[in-house]
Each structure stands twice: as structure tokens, then as C-alpha cells.
């Protein structure tokens, strides 16, 4: 897997909505997306309080990564992890570009470094998300299928009443 390039001191929010600690974004490695091209997906990762993460999850469209991401990127999968050592929550978002969106060039991480945030931490989270990407996609597909099934059952029940 390609190592991720770190660009210190760059804040993609550029004075937008405040986010705890840091942001970074990168492509998912093409091995996990085959046969899709790598420039159609993006990871956004960082550290934040769970309260902030939960608000983001419930208000995806209104949340700050609408400022941090290029036009045409659709939020795809969100996940949170809690460190057993520090108790700090981290989050990961996989986004997928719409067909009409321009490609995102390169495989670059952009983040605002803090004293306890380092390249190894970002690389570890990136690897973890890539390892779990397929599982997340399968789970999301199952959830959509279940919702559709329940909707059809409800509609047929209402029509029969």
C-alpha cells in the first residue's frame, strides 16, 4: 500500500465550522476499490469528541465536511473508533464522487497537526479503514435491502387494509 503524504499546517476548513483537533483526506487504495478508479473515492479522517461525531452523523449534509470536500462528493460511510489508551474518539468517512464530479488528484492526506497527532496515527487509521472498507459496504447494502423490504411490507399491508 502506498504511504500517505502528510502536509502539515494546512486547514481545509479555512475558517469554516470548528472541528476538534484535525482533518485529513485521501483516496482509498485502488486494491480495495477494483475495478473502480481510485479518483472516485475519498477518505476524510480525524479526531473529535463523540458528541461532535454523533451530530455530524445525524446532520451529514449540514456538517463541516461539506466545506472540506470538493463539489460532487457524496458522504458514503461514517465510522467512529475510541482509543482504549487515551479515550479519544476518532472518525472516518468514506465518500464517493458523483458521476458528474471532477476527479480528485493524487493520494494526499491534508491535516492540521496537533502535539499528539502524527503521520503514523494517520497511516494506521487509513490502513484500518481500507481493511474494513468491504465490510462497511456489505453492511450498508444489507441495511438498504432491509429498509426496502420493510417499506414494501408496510406498503402492501396498507394497501390490503
Is there a contact between 73 and 42 (Cβ–Cβ < 8 Å)? yes
How many C-beta atoms lie closer than 10 Å to residue 112's C-beta?
18
Is there a contact between 26 and 4 (Cβ–Cβ < 8 Å)? yes
How many C-beta atoms lie closer than 10 Å to residue 79's C-beta?
16
C-alpha cell at 22: 484535525
> Residue 156 pLDDT > 70, yes or no?
yes
> Residue 151 pLDDT > 70, yes or no?
yes
Q: Report the percent of the chain where pLDDT is more than 70.
A: 10
Identify the pLDDT of residue 104. 45
Amino acid at each position: 500500500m502506498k504511504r500517505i503524504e502528510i502536509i502539515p499546517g494546512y486547514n481545509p476548513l479555512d475558517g469554516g465550522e470548528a472541528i476538534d483537533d484535525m482533518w485529513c483526506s485521501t483516496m482509498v487504495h485502488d486494491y480495495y476499490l477494483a475495478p473502480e478508479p481510485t479518483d472516485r473515492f475519498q477518505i476524510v479522517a480525524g479526531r473529535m469528541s463523540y458528541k461532535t461525531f454523533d451530530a455530524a452523523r445525524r446532520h451529514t449534509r449540514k456538517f463541516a465536511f461539506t466545506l472540506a470536500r470538493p463539489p460532487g462528493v457524496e458522504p458514503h460511510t461514517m465510522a467512529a473508533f475510541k482509543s482504549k489508551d487515551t479515550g479519544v474518539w476518532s472518525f472516518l468517512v468514506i465518500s464517493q464522487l458523483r458521476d458528474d464530479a471532477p476527479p480528485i488528484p493524487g493520494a494526499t492526506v491534508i491535516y492540521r497537526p496537533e502535539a499528539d497527532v502524527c503521520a503514523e496515527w494517520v497511516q494506521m487509521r487509513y490502513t484500518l479503514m481500507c481493511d474494513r472498507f468491504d465490510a462497511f459496504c456489505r453492511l450498508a447494502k444489507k441495511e438498504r435491502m432491509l429498509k426496502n423490504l420493510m417499506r414494501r411490507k408496510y406498503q402492501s399491508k396498507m394497501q390490503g387494509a
